[in-house]
Amino acid sequence: MRVFISLFLLISSTRLHPSWAQYHYQGLMNYLENRMQAMEERISVWQEQAVRYGVDLKEFRQQAADVMERLARDHDKLRQELDSAGGKVERMEREMDYIETKNPPPPCSKAEDKMVEQKPMGKMKKTGELRGCMDLVFSIKAMKILKRMGSPKGTWTRDAVTAKVYAFNGTADDTLYEFSSVRALSSSSDPRAITLPVFWNGTGHTVHNGQVYYVTEGSELRVMKYDLQNDSMADSAVFPVDDHSPVFSLNQETIVDLVADEEGLWALYGSKDKVSLARMDANTLDIEQMWDTSCPRENAESAFMVCGTLYVVYNSKPPSRSRIQCVFDVNDMVNAEEAPLLYFPRRYGTHSSIKYNPHEKQLYAWDDGYQILYKLSMKKKGVFVN
């Protein structure tokens, strides 16, 4: 920059002092020539270095590529090994399911049985405390047939908080049975028979936090709440459905299905040809929010909720294999590809009810008179597993 300024001064002064200017011009030329020569030298040094760096960089790239390739090969091998191990475990589980189906466990099964034994949670969880849980059902890992209780249809479930087990035998009665544990039920020990002040209809009952929630069908449809701690009716409310048609076409006796999950109490009901969903306040029986889902009622036999996601179970008439074929997430966090089509282990009946226990992550199902447990495995919502 300085060079150009002096050049400008020089040119503007030539008119005034030609000889002085000529002298300075020569000096400037010498100066520029020297600078250029120095620059050329430096450029040639740079060039040399650049070539050397280029070679180095190429070598480095080659080495990095080699390392990456080796890593990728190892990763593939590891993955293949994992896949084949996973396949073996799955096959073994299927075989175990099959053997268990062929040989239902005798009443009074062995003492240590993780799937059956479950301690009470102890302290009560406030409604909403678990809101925002992220579990998505990934597979039905195992099945266990506990007992056959007589009526082809009915409901059994376990309170996730008190860990007591309840059975509703049939589709209309005023009595329910309380067992201290799943083992007490499977060994046919005498239950506590509880006679409710108002009868129940259908198979849509649930027990949540020491309260029975059930549906009574009179001229109107009522949701009842019965306190099991002091055996008294705690509350009731009219459930606002227009038509009293069954929520699942394969279970005609159930108009409203009450279900509990990590997030609290929900009601499933029919509107037009689809299953609809309402979030209920478990304390007051208020309806907080309602959703229409895209899940058809046709050929649906039952449904359950896990972490705010609805899973509708379908079958056919005559019964074939039950499968989860429609999923609806109230928070829009689950898309169709992420929720795989899941088949239940092969049986020859229809589920009249499927109740999820959030504490144990298993399903309590009533299938053609049998009381069955299904153990679920979970993955996280929004995380893809290839």
Residue nearest to ligand NAG (CB): 150
Q: Indicate the burial class of 57 (C-beta count within 10 angstroms; 0-12, 13-18, 19 or more).
A: exposed
Q: With respect to ligand NAG, which residue has the nearer C-beta, 11 or 124?
A: 124
Q: How many residues bind ligand NAG (CB under 6 A)?
A: 14
Query: Binding ligand NAG by CB under 6 A: which of 217, 235, 281, 368?
Result: 217
Nearer to ligand NAG by Cβ, of 138 and 199: the residue is 199
Whole-number minimum distance, CB 78 to ligand NAG, in Å? 52
SS3 324: strand
CB of 170 to ligand NAG, least distance (A): 5
Q: How far apart are CA 174 and CA 1, in angstroms?
A: 101
String of contacts with ligand NAG for each residue 220-239, x by CB under 6 A: -------x-xx-x-------
Which of 157, 201 has the CB closer to ligand NAG?
Answer: 201
Could you give the count of Cα atoms lying within 13 Å of 40 in the half-sphere of its Cβ? Answer: 6
Q: How far apart are CA 274 and CA 254, in angstroms?
A: 15
- Per-residue binding string, ligand NAG, 123-162, x by CB under 6 A, is --------------------------xxx-----------
Per DSSP, what are the bridge partners of residue 34?
none
- The two tokens of residue 175 are 């009595």
**Residue with smaller CB distance to ligand NAG, 141 or 355:** 355
Residue 198 CB partners (closer than 8 Å, separation 6+): 174, 216, 222, 224, 233, 236
Give me the least distance between CB of 301 and ligand NAG, in Å please. Answer: 18
Q: Which is nearer to ligand NAG, 6 or 283 (CB)?
A: 283
Q: Could you please report the per-residue DSSP string of 175-236?
A: EEEEESSHHHHHTTPPPEEEEEEEEEESS--EEETTEEEEEEESSSEEEEEEETTTTEEEEE
Whether 362 and 377 have beta carbons less than 8 Å apart is answered as no
Nearer to ligand NAG, 248 or 304 (CB): 248
Part in contact with ligand NAG (CB under 6 A); list of ranges 19-27, 128-136, 170-178, 343-351: 170-178
The CB-of-193 to ligand NAG minimum distance in angstroms stands at 9
d(CA 210, CA 302) in angstroms, rounded, equals 23
219 near ligand NAG (CB under 6 A): no
| Residue placing its CB nearer to ligand NAG in the complex, 206 or 293 | 206
Residue closer to ligand NAG, measured from CB, 105 or 191: 191
The distance of closest approach from Cβ of residue 149 to ligand NAG in the complex, given in angstroms and rounded to an integer, is 5
Report the DSSP pairing between strands 135-148 and 370-380.
antiparallel
Sheet of 274-280, strand order: 257-261, 264-271, 274-280, 287-296
* CA 135 – CA 305 distance, rounded (Å): 11
Closest approach, Cβ 159 to ligand NAG, in A, equals: 14
Tell me the closest approach of the beta carbon of residue 169 to ligand NAG, in angstroms: 4
C-alpha distances out from residue 373 to 18, 46, 160, 354, Å: 110, 76, 14, 9
Alpha-carbon distance of 273 to 339, in angstroms, equals: 22
Q: Closest CB to ligand NAG among 150 and 382? A: 150
Task: Tell which one of 201, 211, 276, 362 touches ligand NAG (CB under 6 A).
Answer: 201
> Counting contacts by CB under 6 A, is residue 289 touching ligand NAG?
no
The label of the residue with tokens 């099991």 reads 228
Query: From the CB of 266, what's the least distance to ligand NAG, in Å?
Result: 22
Return the amino acid letter for 121: M
According to CB under 6 A, which one of 96, 172, 287, 378 is a site residue for ligand NAG?
Answer: 172
170 binds ligand NAG (CB under 6 A): yes
Enumerate binding residues for ligand NAG (CB under 6 A): 149-151, 169-170, 172-173, 199, 201, 217, 227, 229-230, 232
